[in-house]
Amino acid sequence: MEKTKTGQVWVWHVDVLAEKMPTWQARRILAHGEDMMMVENEFAPGDTAPEHTNPHTQITYVMEGALEFTMDGETKIMRKGDSVFIKPYAVHKAVAIEDTMLIDMFAPMREDFLD
């Protein structure tokens, strides 16, 4: 991560280490500031993001692959290019159908991810 004198933050993917997650392949914390955070997640078929809630506004964007996404009891298949807006405290989960790469954006940033 490179912070400039003007307050801009540059993040080079090659410099971000992938963190192995308990139920999916990897998470990378990308660009973030006090008000927003972008996170990349890699899933293999059958990997899950177990049912959970968080107090953040979230948008999930599928870069590659496909997954079954459930939010507040409603399940949809999301594929490359699809996105979903998730309100704070909405109950949600995901199960990868194939190798999947997605981007999660959070507002405000997830301080718990930086611990």
pLDDT, tens digit, 9 for 90 and up, residues 77-101: 999 999 999 999 999 999 999 999 9
Rounded average pLDDT per 10-residue block, the chain, 115 residues? 80 95 97 95 98 97 98 97 98 98 97 89
Contacts of 40 (CB under 8 A, 6+ apart): 27, 28, 30, 63, 101, 102, 103
Instruction: Mention every residue, 6+ apart, whose C-beta is less than 8 A from residue 27.
Output: 18, 19, 21, 39, 40, 41, 42, 113
Confidence (pLDDT) at 6: 77
Lateral strand order in the sheet of 36-43: 26-33, 36-43, 100-107, 57-64, 83-86
What pLDDT does residue 9 have? 86
Predicted local distance difference test score (pLDDT) of residue 72: 94
- Tokens linked to 58: 């979230």
Q: pTM for the full model?
A: 0.92
Q: What is the Cα–Cα distance from 113 to 93, expressed in whole angstroms?
A: 18
Domains of the chain: 2-114 (2.60.120.10)
